[in-house]
Structure 1
Amino acid sequence: MPPEYRAIFDDWSPPLFLTTAVILTAVVYLRGWLAIRKTRPSLFPSWRLISLLLGLAILWISISSPLDGFADALLSAHMVEHLLLMSFVPPLLLLGYPTVPLLRGLPRILIASVLGPMLRRKALRRLGHTLTTPVVAWLAMNLIFLGWHVPAAYNYALEHEHWHEFEHICFLGTSILFWWPLIRPWPTSAGNQGWYMLPYLALADIVNSALSAFLAFCDRPVYSYYLEQPNPFHISPLSDQVVGAVIMWVIGSMVFLIPIVAVTIRLLRQETRRREPISRPDSESLLKKRLGATS
């Protein structure tokens, strides 16, 4: 292993708090998933369990593995870290329908004495409903995304570890809000996903593409942190910035474009199903008229 890589691995140690939290969340979810699967097997197939566990694993990899050390030295690695946190972890967690399995997996005394009374509060439920409305969720995710990429904020987060952790919380939390209206995990009311979901995703892709294009075509390094800190990999900051921008641009756009295609197909199928009950009676009556005429 090259010495610059070995130095990062030597300095790395798994953070106790987050590692414990990820493991406990996985255990609680598994316990609740096994319980609810007995009564709702069709709603909780095995792939939902795999999705949530994979989301937790990617969450740990993004901010608790040596990747976090590489992110402190390379902008491109930092962009990969942000991409995992915002575009992969949230949809994987939400596809696991985590709410009820996590509640079922917790000790009953905790539910009865703490979480139950809290979740029954109308103000808290109203706040949750407001935060997951498409307009609020879209604005929250994209404003946080752009705000933390302002050079002053970006540099400050890298220079101060606790603010860097807060930045990760902002990215993860607002991205969960963003993906919530699209996935609508049970027991959230499924509702009908209208065509508004297409501009919802497309406009987010435009924001991501605009920032990526700025970083890719800028003729100077945008973030002074990478100029002031020694680069053990001997990569020029400008080249590193271009690589990071391309990663964010290409993979980030795919994360939005693939759901756009999936939502379009789903909506077209819904339109086809709506028309079928109307067309069938017409065709049956027409057939009866023809049979009557021939007899």
Structure 2
Amino acid sequence: MNSLVQAAFDSWTPPVATIAMLLATAAIYARGFHRLHRQMPTRFPVWRLAAFMGGIAALFIAIASPLEAFDDLLLQIHMTQHLLLMIVAPPLLLAGAPAIALVRGIPPRISKAIVGPLLRSSAVRRLFAWLTQPLVCWLAFAAATWGWHLPAGFQLALRSDGWHVAEHACFFTTALMFWYPVVQPWPSVARWPRWAMIPYLLLADGQNTILAALFMFSGRLIYPYYATAPRIAGFTPLGDQIVAGAIMWVPGSIFYLVPATLIMFQMLAPQNLTRQSAREAEIHRRVAGELPAAPHL
């Protein structure tokens, strides 16, 4: 094994608190899922459990594995972390419909004493409603992506453990916001029509592509920090940056374009077209006076 690689492994200290938090979250979800699966097996099939655990695994690899020992040596490793935090872990976690499962997994005393009052709070409800507005979600995600990838912010995170944690927390939080309207985890209600998620995802892919292209084609080192980092596997600083851009571009685009394509096919499915035609026909009949107008709620 390369001496630099061995030294990086030797210098890595397992983040016990982070690992414990991830394991506790997985255990709470599994407990709640087990109860819900027995009561609502069609709403909580096993694939939801697999998706949530896959999201936990992605978080573990990103922030609690030896991969973290190399993020200040290779930009491509750092970009892989960001990929896991922003476009792999969040949609998998949300696909597990975690809200109810996590609440059901918490001991009833704690749930009634802490979670219950929070969920009944009108201020918390208003804040959550604002944070899950698709436009707010998209803008927050784009701002975090570009803000932390500017040289000043990125290098600050490289030089300070505290700012590095803040960077990753910002990426993960805004990514949960971004993917929320796309995944639409049960029992949430869509704020925009389903077709709107197609441009939502395509625009996100566009800004990701622009950032990746800057890494690949700028012709200069964007983060001088990596110019002084020890070389691993023969990568030059500029070559490492190009590989990082390719990681951001190709896998990143796949994670945006595949959901957009699936949504498009869902919209074009015969059953969806039939339902849409039925809704349009009902509206037409109401306008024509053939049906009484729906009561105002």
Closer/same/farther in 2, CA of residues 192 and 203 from structure 1, 3 Å limit: closer
Query: What is the TM-score normalised by the length of structure 1?
Result: 0.91
Among 222, 247, 271, the residue aligned to 2:273:
271
Closer/same/farther in 2, CA of residues 192 and 266 from structure 1, 3 Å limit: farther
Distance in 1 between the 2:230 and 2:194 partners? 50
Unaligned runs of 5+ in 1: 280-295
Would the aligned equivalents of 2:71 and 2:78 in 1 still touch at CA under 8 Å? yes
How far 1:194 moved relative to its partner? 2.9
Q: Which residue of the partner structure matches residue 3 of structure 1?
A: 3
Would the aligned equivalents of 2:205 and 2:256 in 1 still touch at CA under 8 Å? yes
Would the aligned equivalents of 1:182 and 1:193 in 2 still touch at CA under 8 Å? no
Answer yes or no: is 1:75 the counterpart of 2:85: no
Give the residue type in structure 2 aligned to 1:7.
A
How far 1:2 moved relative to its partner? 2.3
Count of residues in correspondence between the two structures: 279
Distance in 2 between the 1:250 and 1:118 partners? 41
Give the residue type in structure 1 aligned to 2:221.
P
Q: Which residue of the partner structure matches residue 228 of structure 1?
A: 228
How far 1:63 moved relative to its partner? 1.1
Distance in 1 between the 2:50 and 2:217 partners? 39
Mean Cα deviation higher: 111-120 or 236-245: 111-120
User: Any idea what SS the aligned residue of 2:169 has?
Assistant: helix
Distance in 2 between the 1:159 and 1:233 partners? 23
Distance in 2 between the 1:187 and 1:248 partners? 32
Distance in 2 between the 1:137 and 1:169 partners? 15
Deviations 1:199-256 (A, max 9, x none): 1001100100001111100111000111133334442110000000011001101110
Larger radius of gyration: 1
Closer/same/farther in 2, CA of residues 207 and 192 from structure 1, 3 Å limit: closer
Distance in 1 between the 2:33 and 2:214 partners? 44
Q: Which residue of the partner structure matches residue 112 of structure 1?
A: 112
Mean Cα deviation higher: 187-196 or 2-11: 187-196
User: Any idea what SS the aligned residue of 1:7 has?
Assistant: helix
Distance in 1 between the 2:25 and 2:131 partners? 23
Give the residue type in structure 2 aligned to 1:85.
L
Closer/same/farther in 2, CA of residues 191 and 135 from structure 1, 3 Å limit: closer
Q: Which residue of the partner structure matches residue 18 of structure 1?
A: 18
How far 1:83 moved relative to its partner? 0.4
Mean Cα deviation higher: 219-228 or 165-174: 219-228
Closer/same/farther in 2, CA of residues 117 and 278 from structure 1, 3 Å limit: closer
Mean Cα deviation higher: 2-11 or 73-82: 2-11
Q: Which residue of the partner structure matches residue 291 of structure 2?
A: none
Give the residue type in structure 1 aligned to 2:277.
R
Give the residue type in structure 1 aligned to 2:33.
W
Q: Which residue of the partner structure matches residue 181 of structure 1?
A: 181
Would the aligned equivalents of 1:157 and 1:164 in 2 still touch at CA under 8 Å? yes
Closer/same/farther in 2, CA of residues 190 and 45 from structure 1, 3 Å limit: farther
Give the residue type in structure 2 aligned to 1:111.
S
Query: What is the TM-score normalised by the length of structure 2?
Result: 0.90
Unaligned runs of 5+ in 2: 282-297
User: Any idea what SS the aligned residue of 1:41 has?
Assistant: coil
Would the aligned equivalents of 2:220 and 2:238 in 1 still touch at CA under 8 Å? yes
How far 1:19 moved relative to its partner? 0.2
Q: Which residue of the partner structure matches residue 63 of structure 1?
A: 63
Would the aligned equivalents of 1:4 and 1:233 in 2 still touch at CA under 8 Å? no
Would the aligned equivalents of 2:148 and 2:154 in 1 still touch at CA under 8 Å? yes
User: Any idea what SS the aligned residue of 2:188 has?
Assistant: coil
The aligned runs of 1:41-190 (5 Å cut-off) are 41-190=41-190
Deviations 1:46-105 (A, max 9, x none): 110011011101101111111111111000111111001100000000000000010001
Closer/same/farther in 2, CA of residues 31 and 220 from structure 1, 3 Å limit: same
Would the aligned equivalents of 2:72 and 2:229 in 1 still touch at CA under 8 Å? no
Distance in 2 between the 1:182 and 1:64 partners? 27
Q: Which residue of the partner structure matches residue 284 of structure 1?
A: none
Would the aligned equivalents of 2:208 and 2:252 in 1 still touch at CA under 8 Å? yes
Distance in 1 between the 2:143 and 2:206 partners? 13
Would the aligned equivalents of 2:156 and 2:163 in 1 still touch at CA under 8 Å? yes
Q: Which residue of the partner structure matches residue 249 of structure 2?
A: 249
